[in-house]
Amino acid sequence: MSSVLNSERWPDLPYAVWKDTYETLHLWTQIVGKVRLMREPWLNHSWHVPFYVTARGLTTSPIPSGGRVFQLDFDFIDHLLWVRTSDGHVRQVMLAPKTVAEFHGEVTSALAELGLVTPILTQPSEIAGGIPFEQDRVHASYDRDYAQRFWRILLSTHEVLSRFRTGFLGKVSPIHFFWGGFDLAVTRFSGRRAPPHPGGIPHLSDAVTREAYSHEVSSAGFWPGGGLFDYPAFYSYAYPSPEGFASAMVEPRQAFFSKELGEFLLPYEAIRRAQDPEAMLTAFLQSTYEAAAELGKWDREALECPVGVPCRPRAP
């Protein structure tokens, strides 16, 4: 793959340069995500709350509202938040430098104008020391170029995760964008119950965390960084983490186990600079999953299958 194509599909995303936009956009997605949270019936593992990657950005997918349906879409090409209803009405919120408080007010007003008033809990989720949305005049950055770069990475990652997802016959999640952690993820399940999760995630009920991790998982995805790791990375973890998982041999050589996070990390920069980024990322996904499944004694013969091919049904 040419370096030019690599830079388009896997653009540079220096954490320090886009950090302010990242933090603001994270909070904006939480405002929109909590609208979906308040209106959707609970689904296992909190699958009723995430967004999905689209050809222009991120979407809530259709949300029911008393006989009507509405949808909120982040558009990172025209830099708009679209609010659309099933009866043909539309509102827009510009994605531009503005405070979280302003964005919260504009989204609230757009929903009210459409008869979709939705009170939300305005305390940010999974963020220690977060400021309630309506009071947050600290975060106010939006760089159009870097927001679009982030979305293009999500697009490319989604393609690889989608192909990886087809190699599993057991229960497997859709490819979700979780606005709490601001990460794109796919999760495989062994089918067995897991021990209760210890919880402790800031501003996230332990009951929610324990329900999300009620069964054994191997989960992987993309995260733009934060805290001790000021760079974007791909990650992979198992819950519960089987004995020996942290010292397992995985691919590629740039991957390592973070004791702080309890998961394998592969710096995004390694993927971006690889001759074949998709093959490198696939090797990371497959080798970390195999470590979790082997050490966790999953029934791999029953759970796995060849990766899917277009227009070719699987053999029974």
Those residues whose C-beta lies under 8 Å from the C-beta of residue 1, and which sit 6 or more positions away, are 275, 276, 277, 278
129 and 154 in one domain?
A: no
Distance separating alpha carbons of residues 258 and 278, to the nearest angstrom: 23
pLDDT one digit per residue (tens) for the chain, 316 residues? 555 557 899 999 999 999 999 999 999 999 999 999 999 999 999 999 999 999 999 999 999 999 999 999 999 999 999 999 999 999 999 999 999 999 999 999 999 999 999 999 999 999 999 999 999 999 999 999 999 999 999 999 999 999 999 999 999 999 999 999 999 999 999 999 999 999 999 889 999 999 999 999 999 999 999 989 999 999 999 999 999 999 999 999 999 999 999 999 999 999 999 999 999 999 999 999 999 999 999 999 999 999 999 999 988 8
96 and 155 in one domain?
A: no
150 and 118 in one domain?
A: no
In this prediction, residue 315 carries a pLDDT of 82
Angle ∠(76,157,201) on CA atoms, nearest 5: 85
Q: pTM for the complete prediction? A: 0.96
Nearest Cα residue to 229 out of 187, 183, 197, 275: 183
**How many domains would you assign to the chain?**
2
Q: Is residue 62 part of a domain?
A: yes
Helix axes 277-295, 144-165, angle to 10 degrees: 50
**Which residue pairs from 249-254 have beta carbons closer than 8 angstroms and sit at least 24 positions apart in sequence?**
249/287, 249/291, 250/284, 250/287, 250/288, 250/291, 251/280, 251/283, 251/284, 251/286, 251/287, 252/280, 252/283, 252/284
Angle ∠(150,151,157) on CA atoms, nearest 5: 95
Q: Is residue 116 part of a domain?
A: yes
User: What SS3 class is residue 187?
Assistant: strand
In this prediction, residue 3 carries a pLDDT of 58
Q: Which residue has the tokens 């009210």?
A: 112
Q: Is residue 252 part of a domain?
A: yes
Domain that holds residue 160: 144-303
159 and 81 in one domain?
A: no
Cis before 240? omega within 30: yes
168 and 52 in one domain?
A: no
73 and 37 in one domain?
A: yes
Last residue of a domain, one of 135, 152, 179: 135
Give me the amino acid identity at 86. Answer: S
Distance separating alpha carbons of residues 64 and 66, to the nearest angstrom: 6
User: CB of 213 within 8 A of CB of 200?
Assistant: no
Q: Is residue 182 part of a domain?
A: yes
104 and 215 in one domain?
A: no
In this prediction, residue 2 carries a pLDDT of 53
258 and 157 in one domain?
A: yes
Last residue of a domain, one of 135, 166, 184: 135
